Amino acid sequence: MASTLSDLRFDNRFTADLPADPVSSVQSRQVAGAGYSRVTPRQPGKPSLLATSAEMVHELGLLPDTVASDDFLLAVSGGVLPADADPYAACYGGHQFGNWAGQLGDGRAITLGEIVTGAGHRHTLQLKGAGPTPYSRGADGLAVLRSSVREFLCSEAMHHLGVPTTRALSLALTGDPVMRDMFYDGNPEWEPGAVVCRVAPSFIRFGNFEIFASRGDHTNLRTLADHAITLHFPELVDGRHQLTADDYVSWFTEVARRTATMIVEWQRVGFVHGVMNTDNMSIHGLTIDYGPYGWLEDYDPGWTPNTTDRQFKRYRYSAQPHIGQWNLTQLANAIYPLVGAAEGLQAGLETYVSTFNEQWASMMAAKLGLVGADTEAVSGLVQRLLEILPRTETDMTLFFRELGSVETAEAVEPEQRLAPLLDAYYRPDELTGDLRAETLAWLDDYAACARRHQLNDQQRHEAMSRVNPRVVLRNYLAQVAIDRASDGDPSGIHELLEVLRHPYDDQPGCERFAEKRPEWARSRPGCSMLSCSS
């Protein structure tokens, strides 16, 4: 176990394998022929630690007492570089809202380096909000408290929900004010600056490949692909370092499979990413870059949390599966020069579709507690339910959680089946007429399906409670914690983090975290839609 970050074993393969930007300035500019630019984090004025992830402290091989040290605080806030760190900002491009945006890059993220734990696990440590880089496009490269709290909490919440995700080690205030225009409406304000230390096997995105392809730099495109495959997907090449077109196709197919699995998990818990640009898509199939995200409160397939996407809703909940395929198509186009034929890449895209469809069907059967039931019957029930739910505001999380409490015995009256679900409705007075009749009929058919397949109510309830969370990180919960932290009280972050570590449990005394969105939060800033500044 290590007592400081400097005691960790750094193994900086990305900077060793990829070409470096020869210019040392952080001035915003185009960077050609390089995978990254070496940069140094900005010194924080008066840093203070707000929160850490105990699980990540342990996973990295750090002693628990480490987080109380000044060395740790300075390292995770950018004040001191750990020994053997090789800090850099990566160069990448991306398609944003369907349009090629050219060079983007790490504009407010600085990677400290890669470590390998005693267990052989590789982790990349990255500071988000630690200062300007050549990719900041004239901005300051900093982050504010509200966005940093949201990133810290959400990455840990997603992990405990079982959703593939990047992680967060720590959340620190810098002691420096940062000017931000939250709604891009010409009313900027000073806000507390903060830094999140986030963790992933790597932060390589689809956009890292796109930038080289867009510039016709096939030499560095191959260098990046070889680095990513041999280091992070070694099982695909069995130790070989001379890779072939078939190896690139196999890798692309695996990325497609992982991406499908990730998005199925998003759909399961009602998560909406909000900014599914190709520069926000990880080759590891991990959720990355938590900006204007949100969870469905009422089940509205057309909802997106991103104010920038308000008009066209490209990244709405129901579109996420399609966008995953669209983004993979851009990655396929980027690596085509390494493959030279479309057939294998097309097959990889088809793998995405088949993987998503198969896993989505299994996931929905699990959410209904009907695993093992007749596939056609379950499919019909799913289709009918997803048509019924949007007809009145119905809390997705509460509905599926309480569905496990519905009694399925034949003698149970229809209204008795409905009773456990009533709290999931935001406007129960709208549950009348045809809608009520169709809901009751669906519940009767659901119960009959469970009886036909001899699914015991208690066993069904227990199984459903393992896939339908009691608690998710609703935007208003995060905003309440942010408000308290802004007033100097970080205890709300700690309370919420602890509850989110056990999202499938009924936690006595924590019922307030498992309630549907209160009316006051319907349109309050930070509690509904958010901007990319959030």
**For the chain, percent of residues with pLDDT exceeding 90:** 94
**CB of 57 closer than 8 Å to CB of 64:** yes
Reduce the DSSP state of residue 149 to 3 states and report it: helix
Torsion of CA 137, 143, 146, 152, to 10 degrees: 110
Which own/partner contact pairs does 55-60 have at CB distance under 8 Å and 24+ positions apart? 55/156, 55/159, 56/167, 56/168, 56/169, 56/199, 57/169, 59/117, 59/121, 59/123, 59/167, 60/2, 60/8, 60/115, 60/117, 60/123, 60/169, 60/199
Closest of 412, 416, 406 to residue 458, by C-alpha: 406
Task: Kindly report whether the global pTM for this prediction surpasses the value 0.85.
Answer: yes
Decide if pLDDT at 269 tops 70: yes
Whether the Cβ atoms of residue 274 and residue 530 lie closer than 8 Å to each other: yes
Token pair for residue 25? 């300035």
Q: Is the pLDDT score of 102 beyond 70?
A: yes
With b for 16 or more beta-carbon neighbours within 10 A and e for fewer, the 447-470 pattern comes to: bebbeeeebebeebeebbbebbbb
How far is residue 313's CA from residue 275's CA, in Å, rounded to a whole number?
Answer: 10
Q: Give first-to-last CA distance, the chain, whole Å.
A: 36
Are 293 and 266 contacting, i.e. CB atoms less than 8 angstroms apart?
no
Which residue in 439, 434, 424 sits closest to 384, CA to CA? Answer: 439
Structure tokens at 503: 């999202």
Tokens representing residue 62 in the block: 């750090």
The single-letter DSSP state of residue 431 is -
Q: What percent of the chain has pLDDT over 70?
A: 99
472 pLDDT more than 50: yes
- pLDDT tens profile 191-223: 999 999 999 999 999 999 999 999 999 999 999
For residue 390, what pLDDT is reported? Answer: 98
Work out the number of other CB atoms within 10 angstroms of the CB of residue 253. Answer: 20
Residue of higher predicted confidence among 533 and 298: 298
Residues linked to residue 37 through DSSP beta bridges, in sequence order? 89
- Rounded to whole angstroms, the Cα distance separating 39 from 89 reads 7
Contacts of 472 (CB under 8 A, 6+ apart): 157, 161, 269, 270, 271, 295, 397, 503
- The pLDDT of residue 61: 95
CA distance 372 to 356: 19
Catalytic-residue membership of 279: yes
Q: Identify the weakest region by mean pLDDT among 16-30, 174-188, 335-349, 462-476.
A: 174-188
Give tens-digit pLDDT for 138-189.
999 999 999 999 999 999 999 999 999 999 999 999 999 999 987 777 889 9
User: Which of these is catalytic: 279, 289, 298, 395?
Assistant: 279
Residue 184, pLDDT score: 74
200 DSSP β-pair partners:
124
Q: 534: pLDDT confidence band, cut at 50, 70 and 90?
A: very low
Residue 361 Cα to chain centre, angstroms: 22
**Residue 118 pLDDT:** 92
Of the candidates 152, 260, 208, 268, the one whose C-alpha atom is nearest the C-alpha of residue 500 is 152
pLDDT at 533: 58
Distances (CA, A) of 173 to 49, 78, 146: 6, 11, 11
Q: Six-digit token pair at 113?
A: 């380096």
**Do 295 and 319 contact (CB within 8 A), yes or no?**
no
Whole-angstrom distance, CA of residue 484 vs CA of residue 230 = 46
Q: Which of 177, 205, 176 is nearest to 78 (CA)?
A: 176
Whether 32 shows a pLDDT value over 60: the answer reads yes
| Alpha-carbon separation of residue 297 from 389, 426, 470 (angstroms) | 12, 10, 13
**DSSP strand pairing (109-116 vs 122-128):** antiparallel
pLDDT at 530 over 90: no
Residue 338 CA neighbour count, 13 Å, CB half: 31
- As given in the structure block, the two tokens for residue 214 are 């867009």
Q: What is the mean pLDDT of the chain?
A: 96
pLDDT value of residue 241: 87
Task: Answer for the pair 307, 530: CB distance below 8 angstroms, yes or no.
Answer: yes
246 contacts 344 by C-beta, under 8 angstroms: yes
The pLDDT assigned to 52 comes to 98
Query: Directed axis angle between helix 206-214 and helix 320-339, to 10°?
Result: 50
Q: Is the predicted pLDDT of residue 529 greater than 80, yes or no? A: no
Q: Where are the beta strands (DSSP E) in 153-277?
A: 167-180, 189-200, 271-272
Q: What is the pLDDT of residues 406-457, one digit of tens each?
A: 999 999 999 999 999 999 999 999 999 999 999 999 999 999 999 999 889 9
